[in-house]
Amino acid sequence: MAETTDTAKLTIKGKTYDLPVYSPTTGPDVLDIRKLYAQADVFTYDPGFTSTAACDSTITFIDGDKGELLHRGYPIDQLASQSHYLEVCYLLLYGELPSAAELEKFESLVTNHTMIHEQMHNFFRGFRRDAHPMATMVGVVGAMSAFYHDSTDINDEHQREVASIRLIAKMPTIAAMAYKYSIGQPFVYPRNDLDYAANFLHMCFAVPAETYHVNPILARAMDRIFTLHADHEQNASTSTVRLASSSGANPFACIAAGIACLWGPAHGGANQACLEMLKEIGTPDRIPEFIARAKDKNDPYRLMGFGHRVYKNFDPRATVMKQSADEVLDLLGVENNPVLQVAKELERQALADPYFAEKKLFPNVDFYSGIILEAMGFPTSMFTPVFALARTVGWISQWKEQLADPQLKIGRPRQLYLGSTARDYVDIENR
């Protein structure tokens, strides 16, 4: 628990109340209003919770004005360019970078838990073939609690650890199976001789009829997508996981709730929306028309994949993602893909336009990740499942941190009630 560093005074109807002020290791100070209702009989009003700190955390820090994202203090660009996803998973889960021996043990543990219970295959066959893969993932992940009873006791530290490893290990298998099911192909089992990202690509694109070799450039790009989406502080889906967890729900239910929240186009669906925008533009010659609309104050149209509601300067994840996008497009080419041709030209024109530079509307991580996934051959319906796969470790890390917090209480937001006051029931014949 943070220590009080100062006191703020709040005057309500002539009476003054002292509010403790806490100073974080970095970021803005926080006013403690927990006793305000009991003392002054008032609530605070903050739709969207954009000015409310609902928890203590040591996992991720974001400074949107500086374009800074830190995991346990390490800048995301350093982690994405010098580390790899499972090492970042270890960092998020345990607080420090692993030694070589610790990382080897952790990677082996994850690798040996990638298979799912065979009977879970029947769950997939209960869905329509045209079901969205996110709908399938919500159902299957939530159902894991029916198969893994030995890791649902949230009060048992060992069971929490087992659940964490299982979710990180099995999520690529579940996402790949959701994809295979949607296109009518047989499931491909995980392989222990492949690394995390390569194994996911193999499960998505291999078929029993022939050998599939994972290109290392694509595997590296996939690993970077996972790393850059691993955690993002107290966003909507993470807050959903924490809120579900506060009631004592099992870990699989909590992560399923996070997946459901991530499904929204304003959250995890942003890169899908970006690709749909590129398809709407259609051809490079139409780009000036759409740029003009985005600059017109009287036109509600906006370019998806540019700027970010958190980062007011630039998205620190985008620089590394752009490098991967360039590598993937150099490998696969864009000549025969009109969507990627539009993407490259839109990027060029937007970066050269003073309007976008002045407004700090630079291409963000969603713009580049969408380009990469499109080039790899993923349909837009798989963009959000890939995001959910990557974000699982962040959700699990936040979940574990919350359960270890002695201040944990069930989430119970208040409201500004604007409905009718008390009134008497009227019999139906008198209404």
Per-residue pLDDT, 338: 83
What is the second-level CATH architecture of the domain 4-53? Single Sheet (2.20)
Per-residue pLDDT, 1: 63
**Per-residue confidence at 329, pLDDT binned at 50, 70, 90?**
confident
User: pTM of the prediction?
Assistant: 0.91
Taking only the tens place, the pLDDT of each residue in 294-313 is: 899 899 988 888 877 677 77
CB atoms closer than 10 angstroms to residue 344: 15
| Model confidence at 281: pLDDT above 70 | yes
30-31 and 15-22 beta bridge pairing: antiparallel
Query: How wide is the angle at C-alpha 390 spanned by C-alphas 387 and 393, nearest 5°?
Result: 135
Taking only the tens place, the pLDDT of each residue in 106-117 is: 999 999 999 999
User: What is the percentage of the chain residues whose pLDDT exceeds 90?
Assistant: 74
Question: What letters, b where the CB count within 10 A reaches 16 and e where it falls short, cover 248-263?
Answer: ebbbbbbbbbbbbbbb
Q: Please give the CATH number for the structural domain made up of 269-376.
A: 1.10.230.10
Per-residue pLDDT, 103: 98
Per-residue pLDDT, 22: 92
Per-residue pLDDT, 3: 74
Tokens 């290392």 found at: 216
CA 12, 18, 24, 26 torsion-angle sign: positive
Cα 245 versus chain centre, distance: 17
Lowest mean pLDDT among 24-33, 235-244, 279-288, 302-311: 302-311
| Segments making up each domain of the chain, as ranges | 4-53, 72-264, 269-376
Give the domain 72-264 fold.
Citrate Synthase; domain 1 (1.10.580)
Lowest mean pLDDT among 140-144, 274-278, 381-385: 274-278
Lowest mean pLDDT among 172-181, 188-197, 339-348: 339-348
Two tokens at 223? 């690993």
- At 133, give phi and psi (nearest 5°): -55, -30
| Model confidence at 368: pLDDT above 90 | no
What mean pLDDT comes out for the span 51-66?
Answer: 92
Contacts of 319 (CB under 8 A, 6+ apart): 77
Query: How wide is the angle at C-alpha 143 spanned by C-alphas 138 and 144, nearest 5°?
Result: 105
Q: Which of 231, 232, 308, 315 is catalytic?
A: 308
Q: Which of 317, 332, 413, 400 is nearest to 365 (CA)?
A: 317
Q: Which of 195, 366, 405, 427 is catalytic?
A: 366
Catalytic residue list contains 366: yes
CB atoms closer than 10 angstroms to residue 328: 25
Contact 184, 129 (CB under 8 A): yes
What mean pLDDT comes out for the span 96-113?
Answer: 98
Per-residue pLDDT, 273: 81
Task: Give the whole-angstrom CA distance, residue 176 versus residue 170.
Answer: 10
Per-residue pLDDT, 307: 78
**Per-residue confidence at 56, pLDDT binned at 50, 70, 90?**
very high
